[in-house]
Chain A
Amino acid sequence: MSVGIRRTRSRFAAILFGGPAALGLTMFLAVPFLMALILTFTDQRLVSPDASRFVGLRNYERLLSVTTLVQDPVSVGDGQDRYVRIRDITRTDPAYRGYRPLTSFAVGDRRMTVLARDPAFLRALGNTFLFAVLVVPLQCVMALGLALLVNAGLRGQTIFRAVYFSPVVMSMVIVSVIWSFLFDRDLGLFNQALSLVSFGLIPPIDWLGDPRAAMPAIVIMSAWQGAGFQMLILLAGLQGIAQELYDAARIDGATAWQRFVHITLPGLRNTITFVLIVTTIAALGLFTQVDVMTGGGPRGSTATVMFEAVRRGVREQNVSYGATISLIYFAIITVFILLQQLVLRRRQGARR
């Protein structure tokens, strides 16, 4: 067979073999991604009698506008400080029209209020970061502990490894449902256990009904569900550390703690960085747990960026607004994705 014929034939084969996948990826990944970009500049709704219009940056403006208001107290003579109601100001002052209070605090005897056009979204953004800040260290430390435990050279450790990993293969929906029962205020096993170990001193916590407890509850559950994944990655890292280093340290009389600090941690540095980034990316996408367990409540304390994207984009059918939220989410995680690529490249470089 001549080379020419083979080349033509192989071009044909490549198109034939790659075609279906290329079509699928274009239609269901590339096109929606471009649509997301374009939609954010329109007022497209899911079902609407009117054609959608180009609205420029209005969606972004509404999502991200923040302003502040400083008020002097108004004396009414009863010795207590009063302030003009925020609602009266946003109604009358054109500079504050369309704004709603996000939070307020005292500065001396004056009151400072932070207002936003969409306080619910900014609160969700804050909740999402709060979740990541709480869950990432907890989950990664848990995972490191588990990895060390199943790497201790004991018999039967593959069984324990499988046990610790098992929640990862479970659906988050199922896990959320079971844990909702565990978190029940009156009958949940958590409060039962707390009351048992404290001899009844700790009053029952309304885990999913108290705005202060709901996010920590979701954090605990998520760390429990996901730690097995990071454990496996760290375990692979642990097994990549040369055994001779440990043997040499032991001959020099290093304690277990010294070996951990001076050999294990430095040896895992790249793996730990990688795990931290991957966990952060996953944490910032928090949705299922919130949707099943709290529906964003109580009082908006567990609403997250993805939850808001679905609420606005799908449930309220404001597709362009939902797409804008998704894109802001993407912008945030892009930072972490770039970091991840950097670490991966460095790791691959180190391996060669």
Chain B
Amino acid sequence: MPSERKSIPLRLALYALMVCTAVVFLFPFLFMIASSFKTNDQIFTDLESFRALLPVGPLTGENYARAFRLGHIGHYLFNSLLVTGITVSLGLVVNSLAAFALARIEWRGKQAVLTLLVILLVVPFEVISVPLMLLVASLPGLAIGADGIEITRSWLDTLYVQIVPFIANAFSIYLFYQFFRDIPKDLDEAAYVDGATPLQVYRHVIVPSSLPVFATVTILQGLAMWNQYLWPLITVPGEAARPLMVGMEQFFGARRTAWGEVMAYATIITVPILAAFIIFQRWFVRSVVGSGVKG
């Protein structure tokens, strides 16, 4: 950071610039939140002035009621929370265990597996999404039908089609691997000498000293799952397993002229992420920088 003391006019100018830029970055959110509490007429009247960005004037909760009633937002919110929660928690276990095997256990063929992993890292999801859809469309699945659990002929239109393919994640493994690799080896050596099993070493030595990387993977995978759009769009045509983002797109398509309702819908989806971001801001920033620099 420049150590030079800046003159007061320069500092004021910089602050003015920062504030103006901040307005540029915030006004769509302010507009969204403000509009979500207004009737359509009110939104259009307020567009002429800065009132458009502020929740002032006669406010109403009607948009939210309609978003829940017409947009089934409660149902989709539940789906998204479930999909994100399960994928992230299973992913943490599965990927960190795999990274443990790569970073802390010696076995033949490890180098080859690592090379493969690095190759898989660069395959973007967009490239495999169409064949993957074809694959899951013909996998036998389970469903709860009228006579209890039934075997179905496809994974399409289920919650688990949004979960299972995303648990194992090459990038998460790689992040865990890099972190585990740098933990001093004498810690687990000492534990092994005391007769600990690899699982005990993982649980009592590695995991407790790796909380930052667990946080990073939780944030990155959680964001990716919560914001997922392309995959559910092509594999979940029905309403029962539909996640929030696809619900948002459908609601927007159907009620394009009802600005207030669409904004209420958008606000409900945004607030959990925004809250998490504000609380864990430092962690978000650190995770994204880490992912960008290493990935």
Contact = CB atoms under 8 A, between A and B. Distances in A.
A187 B198 CA distance: 63
Interface in A236-265: 236, 239, 243, 246-247, 250
Given A14-B101, A154-B14, A171 B252 contact: no
Nearest to B53: A189
Interface in A143-162: 146, 149-154, 157-158, 160-162
Contacts, number: 268
A278 B292 contact: yes
A156 to B, nearest CB: 8
A192 B27 CA distance: 14
Interface size class of A (residues with CB under 8 A): 35 or more
A18 B102 contact: yes
Interface in B205-258: 223, 226-227, 229-230, 233-234, 245, 248-249, 252
Contacts of A169: 223, 273-274, 277, 284
B131 A232 contact: no
Contacts of A14: 101, 105, 107, 110
Interface stretch (B57-65, B66-74, B120-128): B120-128
A319 B21 contact: no
A71 interface: no
Majority DSSP secondary structure for residues of A touching B: helix
A17 B100 contact: yes
Contacts of A278: 292
Nearest to B5: A153
B137 interface: yes
Contact of B25 (A164, A239, A330): A164
Contact of B130 (A20, A171, A323): A323
Interface size class of B (residues with CB under 8 A): 35 or more
B97 interface: yes
B293 interface: yes
B126 A233 contact: no
Contact of A178 (B11, B17, B28, B202): B28
B190 interface: no
B31 interface: yes
Interface stretch (A31-39, A82-90, A113-121): A31-39
Contacts of B97: 17-18, 20-21
A171 B31 contact: no
A163 B137 contact: no
Given A24-B94, A187-B47, A10 B107 contact: yes
B86 interface: no
A20 B105 CA distance: 16
A102 B248 CA distance: 35
A313 B235 CA distance: 12
A166 interface: yes
A154 B18 contact: yes
B25 A167 contact: yes
Contacts of B26: 163, 166
B132 A28 contact: yes
Interface in B23-45: 24-29, 31-32, 35, 44
A173 B198 contact: no
A130 to B, nearest CB: 19
Contact of B252 (A15, A177, A187, A309): A177
A60 interface: no
B160 to A, nearest CB: 12
A285 B124 contact: yes
B185 interface: no
A268 interface: no
A300 to B, nearest CB: 19
A1 B195 contact: yes
A74 interface: no
Given A13-B105, A146-B21, A29 B100 contact: no
A229 interface: yes
A333 interface: yes
Contacts of B191: none
B83 interface: no
B132 to A, nearest CB: 4
A214 interface: no
B198 A13 contact: yes
A277 to B, nearest CB: 11
B266 A178 contact: yes
B139 to A, nearest CB: 9
B89 interface: no
Contacts of B284: 165, 169
A22 B112 CA distance: 13
Given A30-B120, A31-B135, A149-B14, A21 B173 contact: yes
Interface of B: 1-4, 6, 11, 14-15, 17-18, 21-22, 24-29, 31-32, 35, 44, 47-48, 52, 94-95, 97-98, 100-102, 105-108, 110, 113, 117, 120, 122-124, 126-135, 137, 164-168, 170, 173, 192, 195, 197-199, 202, 223, 226-227, 229-230, 233-234, 245, 248-249, 252, 259, 262-263, 266, 269-270, 273-274, 277-278, 281, 284-285, 288-289, 292-293
5 contacts: A14-B107, A22-B113, A153-B3, A178-B263, A224-B25
